Amino acid sequence: MKIPKILQKNKYMVAPPPKRLRVFRKEKLKADLSGDLSKLVSILIKDKEASIDHKTYWDNFITKATKTENEIKTITKELFKEQEEEVLRNLDNIKSIKGKETQFLQKLADMNRVWLSKFLPFVKELVIKIGGEKLNEVNILANIDLTTPAMQRFFNIKVAKLVSGINRTTRKALAKEIAEGFSLGEGIPKIKARVQNVFQFADKTRAVRIARTESIRISNFSATQAFIQSGVVTGKEWLTTLDGRQDFACEELDGKIVSISRNFLNVGDTISAEGQEFEVEVENVGYPPLHVSCRCTLLPVVL
List interacting residues with Zn ion (CB under 5 A).
250, 290, 294, 296
Nearer Cβ to Zn ion, position 160 or 258? 258
Cis peptide before 288 (omega within 30 of 0): no
Q: How far is the CB of 223 from Zn ion (least distance, A)?
A: 14
User: What is the number of residues in the chain?
Assistant: 303
Nearer to Zn ion, 9 or 245 (CB): 245
CB atoms within 10 A of CB 131: 29
We find the least distance from the C-beta atom of residue 24 to Zn ion, in angstroms, to be: 33
d(C-alpha 6, C-alpha 75), whole Å = 19
The least distance separating Zn ion from the CB of residue 243, rounded to whole angstroms, comes to: 12
Residue (of 119, 221, 127, 103) closest to 167 by Cα position: 119
Note whether 104 and 177 are within 8 A (CB).
no
Q: How far is the CB of 135 from Zn ion (least distance, A)?
A: 24
Containing H/E element for 107? none
Closest CB 290 distance from Zn ion, rounded Å: 5
CA angle 147, 109, 149 (to 5 degrees): 15
Distances (CA, A) of 97 to 100, 104, 184: 5, 9, 13
Kindly tell me which of 232 and 298 has the beta carbon lying closer to Zn ion: 298
Q: How far is the CB of 277 from Zn ion (least distance, A)?
A: 16
Of the pair 75, 296, the CB lying nearest Zn ion is at: 296
Scored b (16 or more CB within 10 A) or e, 134-163 reads bbebbebebbbbbebeebeebbeebbbebb
CB of 295 to Zn ion, least distance (A): 6
How far from 241 is each of 16, 232, 254, CA to CA, in Å? Answer: 35, 26, 8
Nearer to Zn ion by Cβ, of 80 and 238: the residue is 238
Cβ distance to Zn ion smaller for residue 173 or 296: 296
Question: Nearest-CA neighbor of 199 among 56, 81, 94, 287?
Answer: 81
State which residue, 191 or 239, has the beta carbon closest to Zn ion. Answer: 239
